[in-house]
Amino acid sequence: MSSTKRYWKDLGELHQQPDAIKGRENEFPQDLAIDQVLGNSSLTGASTGRRDFLKFLGFGIGAATLAACETPVIKSIPYVNKPEDITPGVANWYASTFYDGEDFASILVKTREGRPIHIKGNPRFGINRNPALPKGSINARMNSSVLSLYDGARLTGPVAKGSEAPTTWADTDKAIAAGLAAAAGKRVVILSSTVISPSTQAAIAAFKAKNATAEHVQYDVISYGGVTGANLKSFGKRVFPSYDLTKADVIVSVDADFLSSWGSTSENTWQYATRRNPDLAMNRHIQFEARMSMTGANADVRVPLKISELPKAVVALHAHISGNSAGADAAMMKATEGAAKALMAAKGRSVVLAGSNNEGVQVLVNSINSILGNYGSTIDLDAHTHFKQGDDAAVAQLVKDMNAGTVGALFIAGVNPAYSLPNAAEFKAGLGKVGLSVSFSGYADETASLCNWICPDHHYLESWNDFHPKVGHYALAQPAIRPLFNTRQWQESLLVWSGSASTYYEHIRSVWQANMANRGPEMGLFEDNWNMAVHNGVLTAPVAPAAAPAVFAGDVAAATAAAAKASTGAGDFELALYTTEAIGSGQHANNPWLQEMPDPLTKITWDNYVCMAPADVEKLGLNMYLGEQAPASLVTVKAGDNEITLPVVPTPGQRSGTIAIALGYGRGENGEKVGLAACVTDHNGDFKPVGKNAYVFTRLSEGGVNYDVLNVSVTATGETYPVAITQTHLTAMDRHSVVKETSAATYKAGDKRAYNHPHELAVHEDVNGDGVINAQDKKPVAEFDLWEEHPVEGVGHRWGLSIDLNGCIGCGACITACNSENNIAVVGKDEVRRSREMHWLRIDRYYSSATTKETAKKDGLGKIDMYLQMEVPEESPSVMFMPVMCQHCNHAPCETVCPVAATTHSNEGLNQMAYNRCIGTRYCANNCPYKVRRFNWFNYVSEKFGEVNPAWDDLGRMVLNPDVVVRGRGVIEKCSMCVQSIQAGKLAAKKAGTPVIDGSIETACSAACGTGAIVFGDLNDKKSMVRGLADSDRSYHMLEEIGVKPNVNYLVKVRNTEEAAAHYA
């Protein structure tokens, strides 16, 4: 039954009044102004009220604003099919190999989401592995090489001469085939750096098979022709031997910078370091040299000699050892007497190395080592290396033939002769006469830009390759990323041009398969071996022991005569050319991390310069003190027809009368695009190469290229030039709580207080129990606490670092590793000059001064004079290297002064920095006694710094570690002890359900330190290595007496001076 009830709204409706009936038809009782506002009626006629207008206005603006407020959409595309092993946010490590024609190392490549972002030494396999740690030893050039993968100047495809745009490989191959056909009958030469890859050799062989006149010439940019030539003359083998410094009780080096540049440095460094532990049998290292090298800085005894005296020193040393003093210089006999005695006392357990590329000198060295019985123990000629196969004579002949027009085609791989040859001008002239010239360079560099074709090679991180660094030792390189550009590996190009259809990867596998087959059944299945080799990066094969040690058969008299020739100089100055730790021979000059890495000794970045003894600098009236506003004096160095103008840097330890200039600088002099940092805008606003090319001074002489120029003149130009130095002060001012150093004898005596005296404070209680309270009642400062101590001991983790001043050789691999891991901004020369480099980790270098507090007291020297004299290094100083990063103080002075608590202490002992909270008062940096805090003075990720900072362009940005934020302008930053790695390691342990295992977490610096000088770990783990070191007798805290209680400790440096000096008595 339906209801008939009616409901009504008001009385009007009830009484059916006409207004009410009319009104019911409308939804709203009143008329709305909508029509008037939104309708087509003219605005002037509208009767919209002010209030309505404002309402609509307000709504309109509000709606528009809200609509505009949508958060930006960041597209993050997940994998449709997740690639095996790739989990976003989790790093993958791949074993690979670094070989740039000069240095070799087995490495691990860290990739994130398919991008290589970090490189460290392979801790499990390889000749550069330090088994005692275990860690892989690599240098700064190696771990920085990941950055050059993302260099915007790399060629994106094959280029014909004169054209800007890349062409296709098909066209290129066609053109080159035509060129090769035209070159028939003439010399066809593949000019490369030393090839140690069996598969590359096979590819070259295939190319030779296809082209009847093809040949392979190897060219070492830094020639070792003297060494390999001497081995040919002495032992009938043109090889570079293997050295085993772990067996050497005594190392005598005559100008061989074996820790930085000479020989196989990635092996030398760790081998040397294992013998520098004073708790084990410590070696004795005596260095004769003219310039202060990094190796010399580490020596127990360093004897500065003139360059012309060095060959004489070898002759004299030979005379001492052989007992035949014919032709030996009396003064040198005296200088080498001690070294000879030390060597004689360690027969078969010693080694003599010489840096000279003079064959005569090297024959004499071979003779010395032979007499000492070092072959078969510290030197191995049987399991020799395959490095340094370059043939300077063949290269010289090639240049001649090129100019004679008898070279039809030239293929250049891995070398840059137009830049680095002694006769580069002739080479360039000759190159124009070669019918077909092809460069495999990844850049249109000095040589490549002159070639008909550039067929750019992959970066090594995009490549497959194999290596045979020494007898019985194989290594593999696997790609860590797909090729970024349309490049092709040069070996593959050779295969293509030889008519092979296989890729280089297939080629390597076939070569390996063939080689394995030769090894017999004990090698197992090829596939297993191959997979193992790819996984490990390394494959070792047993080496048959040598039947008998090699017998020296060289001509000593002829060698002495040749050495004598190398020691005749009559100029004002003698010049030594060397390669630096950062730049090497110059192929890595385009790497901003390396350019900004301070030189181990001079602490100069972004330049090469003339190293000169301070006494000579003073004599010539040049600028002695360099700094932000104290530029260096420019001089013109002239040898023969060649001259270059460079700034002079006073270098303590440089032998007076000699100068030294680094090679490898001055890349891209003619405007070639050689890479990101090789050329930068200088202080005058000109875009110029960094430094000057000193290869112009090299000379081809008998046996090899000569790097010593005995007759140069130095003239001041009267002009100055700003240099960028990261450490302007030279000495440690005898501050014992900063650096502690002792002799091996004092250390061995066992009294800790003699070499590592703790700071003590007198207290008002009877500490020593003699019944009286007096000044003798003292407690170590470590027991005092101004504040409540952080509850760190025994509670959870307490992360710490231990730094062995004996282990640190100053190489700086930790600095670049830190750059790579922590996205440290590169700031460029001008900012470094203003002391604004951003490095979280630095290596302090201190020269000794003749005046100490003790001598001043003895001499009755006043304090003011004492301090002034302590600022001056002695003429032949000893050197200390001290890596300094944030000390993670438990009573951190920075934490108390930050007004916004942006820097705080973690419950794991870390001093943490919250960039987002930082307002940039820099009070923390002022109050840091270690001065490790760095401020972002500008927005370093901006166009202004785009020239040098890889974080600026899209390609360079790919190298950034996604776990570490890129800091913006106005905030402080500093070492975090790689907190991202700590967190990752803790997470891994948690997932595995185990405690954090000592050694499973490494900071970038500790992982990079192949000498084991930097050890990271949990100080609360009583069994950890770092705790053991922290509790050892040599351990001390820097500036212990100020009571900041750091979590970083240092181990006193021990020099084997007494023992070494005893042999000089």
Nearer to other proteins, 247 or 729 (CB): 729
Integer Cα distance of 672 and 732 in angstroms: 43
Q: How far apart are CA 438 and CA 449, in angstroms?
A: 10
Q: Which residue number, 64 or 914, has a Cβ lying nearer to other proteins?
A: 914
List the interface residues with other proteins, window 185-244 (CB under 8 A): none
402 touches other proteins (CB under 8 A)? no
The reply on whether position 971 binds other proteins by CB under 8 A is: yes
**Chosen residue from 100, 220, 267, 831 binding other proteins by CB under 8 A:** 831
Least separation in angstroms between CB 893 and other proteins: 5
Shortest spacing between CB 790 and other proteins, in angstroms:
14
Residue 281 or 864 with smaller CB distance to other proteins = 864
Give the chain's end-to-end CA distance (angstroms, integer).
Answer: 132
Residue 629 to residue 833: CA distance in whole angstroms: 9
Nearest by Cα to 1008 from 125, 271, 261, 119:
119
CB of 844 to other proteins, least distance (A): 4
For 862, what's the count of Cα atoms within 13 Å in the CB-facing half-sphere? 2
Closer to other proteins at the Cβ: 701 or 822? 822
Are 910 and 979 within 8 A, CB to CB?
yes
The secondary element (H helix, E strand) that includes residue 271 is helix 265-274
Alpha-carbon distance of 290 to 879, in angstroms, equals: 15
Does 727 interact with other proteins (rule: CB under 8 A)?
A: yes
C-alpha–C-alpha distance, residues 874 and 872, integer Å: 6
Check residue 662 and report its DSSP letter: E
Residue 835 Cβ, how far from other proteins at the closest point, in Å? 4
720 in contact with other proteins (CB under 8 A): no
Residue with tokens 């040919």: 232
Which residues in the 571-630 window bind other proteins by CB under 8 A? 627-629
Query: Which region among 112-120, 698-706, 707-715, 838-846 touches other proteins (by CB under 8 A)?
Result: 838-846
Nearer to other proteins, 678 or 892 (CB): 892
Which one of residues 63, 184, 919, 992 is an interface residue with other proteins (CB under 8 A)?
919
Residue among 407, 443, 447, 408 at smallest CA distance from 424? 447
Decide if residue 63 touches other proteins (CB under 8 A): no
N residues, the chain: 1065
In angstroms, rounded to a whole number, what is the distance separating the alpha carbons of residues 887 and 600?
Answer: 21
Between β-strands 240-243 and 379-385, what pairing exists: parallel, antiparallel or unpaired?
Answer: antiparallel
- Candidate list 920, 946, 985, 1028; residue touching other proteins; CB under 8 A: 920
Q: Please report how the helices 490-497 and 198-210 are oriented relative to each other, as an axis angle in degrees rounded to 10.
A: 30
Q: Which of 893, 946, 985, 1028 binds other proteins (CB under 8 A)?
A: 893
- Which one of residues 262, 427, 846, 1036 is an interface residue with other proteins (CB under 8 A)? 846
SS3 state at 594: helix
Does residue 5 bind other proteins (CB under 8 A)?
A: no
Residue from 863, 991, 1023, 1065 in contact with other proteins (CB under 8 A):
863
Please, are residues 454 and 493 in contact by the beta-carbon 8 Å criterion? no
Give least dist CB 975 to other proteins, A: 14
Instruction: Work out which of 17, 776, 896, 983 binds other proteins, going by CB under 8 A.
Output: 896
SS3 annotation, 973-1041: ECCCCCHHHHHHHHHHHHHHCCCCCCCCCCCHHHHHCCCCCEEEEECCCCCCHHHHHHCCCCEECCCHH
Q: Which of 872, 925, 965, 966 binds other proteins (CB under 8 A)?
A: 925
Q: Which stretch binds other proteins (CB under 8 A): 373-381, 492-500, 889-897, 1023-1031?
A: 889-897
Token pair of 394, please? 């063949």
Q: Considering beta carbons, is residue 331 or 868 the nearer one to other proteins?
A: 868
Contacts of residues 642-647 at CB distance under 8 Å and 24 or more positions apart, as own/partner, are 642/696, 642/697, 644/692, 644/693, 644/694, 644/696, 644/697, 645/692, 645/717, 646/608, 646/609, 646/610, 646/691, 646/692, 647/607, 647/609, 647/610, 647/720, 647/721, 647/723
Query: CA-to-CA distance for 922 and 974, rounded, in angstroms?
Result: 12
Residue 844 in contact with other proteins, rule: CB under 8 A: yes
Q: Are 879 and 297 in contact (CB under 8 A)?
A: yes
Minimum gap (Å) between residue 685 Cβ and other proteins: 17
Print the binding letters for residues 1009-1048 with other proteins: x by CB under 8 A, - otherwise. ------------------------------x--x-x----
Residue 175 · residue 453 · CB < 8 Å: yes
Residues 625-664 binding other proteins (CB under 8 A) are 627-629
Residue 738 found at the interface with other proteins (CB under 8 A): yes
Dihedral class, residue 977 (left if φ above 0, else alpha if ψ from -120 to 50, else beta): left
Q: Which of 1053, 586, 1051, 603 is nearest to 812 (CA)?
A: 603
Give which of 458, 462, 411, 417 is closest to 438, Cα–Cα: 411
Cα–Cα distance, 166 to 172 (Å, whole number): 10
Q: Which of 850, 897, 965, 1025 binds other proteins (CB under 8 A)?
A: 897
Asked if 758 interacts with other proteins (CB under 8 A), we say no
| Residue 969 makes contact with other proteins by CB under 8 A | yes
Binding mask 103-122 for other proteins (x = CB under 8 A): --------------------
| Number of residues near other proteins (by CB under 8 A) | 60
Per rule CB under 8 A, is residue 842 in the interface with other proteins? yes
How far is Cα 904 from Cα 919, in angstroms, rounded to an integer? 14
Rule CB under 8 A: say whether 443 interacts with other proteins: no
Closer residue to other proteins in complex, CB, 277/904: 904
> In angstroms, what is the minimal distance from the CB of 855 to other proteins?
16
Contact flag: residue 731 with other proteins (CB under 8 A): yes
Query: Is residue 835 close enough to count as binding other proteins by CB under 8 A?
Result: yes
Q: How far is the CB of 728 from other proteins (least distance, A)?
A: 6
**What is the closest distance, in whole angstroms, from the C-beta atom of residue 110 to other proteins in the complex?**
29
- Kindly tell me which residue out of 56, 93, 552, 867 binds other proteins, with binding defined by CB under 8 A: 867
Q: Does 728 bind other proteins (CB under 8 A)?
A: yes
Alpha carbons 718 and 721: distance in angstroms, whole number: 10
| Minimal distance, residue 609 CB to other proteins, in Å | 20
**901 near other proteins (CB under 8 A):** yes
Q: Is 869 in the site for other proteins (CB under 8 A)?
A: no
Answer for which of 341, 400, 757, 922 binds other proteins (CB under 8 A) is: 922
Q: Are 559 and 357 in contact (CB under 8 A)?
A: no
Burial of 245 (0-12, 13-18, 19+ CB in 10 A): buried
Closer to other proteins by Cβ: residue 87 or 835: 835
Site for other proteins in 927-966 (CB under 8 A): 927, 929-931, 933-939
Binding site for other proteins (CB under 8 A): 627-629, 727-729, 731-733, 735, 738, 831, 834-837, 842, 844-846, 863-864, 867-868, 882, 884, 893, 896-901, 917-923, 925-927, 929-931, 933-939, 969-972, 1039, 1042, 1044
